[in-house]
C-alpha cells in the first residue's frame, strides 16, 4: 500500500514526539523544516517532469 505525504508527516511527528532531549518548540520547528523541504522537492520534481502538481 502506498503512503501519502501526510501519512509520512504524521509518522515523523509521532517519532519526534518521543524525543525527550529537545523542547516542543524545537520539535515543531524540525517537523516544519522537513515538511517545507519535502514540499520543495515535490514541486521541483513536478516542474522537472512537466507534471501538474495537485497542491
Distances (CA, A) of 25 to 6, 19, 39, 50: 20, 12, 21, 37
Residue found by looking up cell 523544516 in the block: 33
pLDDT at 26: 97
Q: What is the spatial distance between Cα 41 and Cα 39, in angstroms, rounded to a whole number?
A: 5
- Identify whether 6 is part of a domain: no
pLDDT at residue 34, rounded to an integer = 93
41 belongs to a structural domain: yes
pTM of the model: 0.73
Q: Is residue 38 part of a domain?
A: yes
Degrees (nearest 5) of the Cα angle 48, 35, 17? 155
- 44 in a domain, yes or no? yes
- pLDDT score, position 7: 85
Q: Which domain holds residue 40?
A: 22-55
The residues of the chain scoring below 70 in pLDDT are 1-3, 52-55
Amino acid at each position: 500500500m502506498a503512503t501519502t505525504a501526510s501519512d509520512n508527516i504524521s509518522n515523523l511527528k509521532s517519532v519526534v514526539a518521543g524525543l525527550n532531549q529537545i523542547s516542543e518548540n524545537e520539535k515543531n520547528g524540525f517537523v516544519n523544516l522537513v515538511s517545507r523541504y519535502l514540499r520543495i522537492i515535490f514541486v521541483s520534481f513536478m516542474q522537472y517532469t512537466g507534471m501538474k502538481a495537485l497542491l
